[in-house]
């Protein structure tokens, strides 16, 4: 239950990056250079730019159903051997539980969290948000169809 509350309230009400300490940028990887950010202003500029590309909102119930789908399907998604296929699959199953716009929002929000969470173990990748969003548009009739379409789209490509 605690995980659910963290997801709904932490993920749904994600604080802006300015709330973190001044050295947060040192833990984040610049997606253009694949190296740690060299300055707080460079990092903040990227955080602000991603924030400007916001995807609207998803209400608490949609976040709940998204989280439920994620928890249920995470292990299956991780078995694909392709991070982008996994993101696509999660977007697809989220859209099956909610709608495509919610999958798009959750993919965007997850990457915003990765960019601004000051955690050296997470990494922002715009391609992850794109894969999640694309999966949400598939209108698949089943989890198996989500898997087949996402693996076909992403498994043989290197990202």
For position 157, what pLDDT does the model report? 59
Query: Is residue 23 included in any domain, yes or no?
Result: yes
Considering its fold, how many domains does the chain have in total? Answer: 1
Query: Is residue 73 included in any domain, yes or no?
Result: yes
Query: Is residue 146 included in any domain, yes or no?
Result: yes
For position 120, what pLDDT does the model report? 86
Distance of CA 137 to the CA centre of its chain: 15
For position 54, what pLDDT does the model report? 85
Q: What residues contact residue 14 under an 8 Å CB cut-off, 6+ apart?
A: 109, 112, 113, 116
Query: Is residue 159 included in any domain, yes or no?
Result: no
**Spatial CA neighbour of 11 closest among 62, 76, 49:** 62
pLDDT, tens only, 62-104:
999 999 999 999 999 999 999 999 999 999 999 999 999 999 9
Query: Is residue 111 included in any domain, yes or no?
Result: yes
**Spatial CA neighbour of 122 closest among 1, 22, 2, 11:** 11
Query: Is residue 17 included in any domain, yes or no?
Result: yes
For position 8, what pLDDT does the model report? 43
Cβ pair 103, 69 in contact under 8 A? no
Q: Give every residue of the chain whose pLDDT is below 50, as ranges.
A: 1-9, 11-21, 159
Range of the domain at 26: 2-154
* CA 108/CA 130 separation, integer angstroms: 8
Burial category of 83 from C-beta neighbours within 10 Å (exposed 0-12, middle 13-18, buried 19 and up): middle
């Amino acid at each position: 239950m605690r995980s659910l509350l963290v997801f709904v309230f932490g993920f749904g009400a994600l604080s802006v990056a300015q709330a973190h300490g001044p050295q947060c940028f040192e833990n984040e990887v610049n997606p253009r250079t694949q190296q740690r950010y060299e300055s707080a202003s460079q990092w903040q500029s990227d955080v602000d730019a991603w924030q400007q590309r916001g995807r609207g909102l998803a209400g608490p119930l949609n976040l709940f159903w998204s989280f439920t789908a994620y928890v249920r399907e995470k292990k299956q998604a991780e078995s694909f051997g392709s991070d982008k296929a996994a993101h696509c699959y999660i977007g697809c199953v989220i859209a099956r539980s909610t709608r495509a716009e919610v999958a798009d929002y959750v993919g965007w929000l997850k990457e915003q969290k990765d960019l601004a969470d000051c955690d050296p173990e997470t990494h922002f990748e715009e391609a992850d948000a794109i894969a999640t969003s694309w999966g949400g548009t598939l209108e698949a009739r089943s989890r198996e169809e989500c898997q087949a379409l996402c693996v076909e789209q992403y498994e043989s490509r290197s990202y």
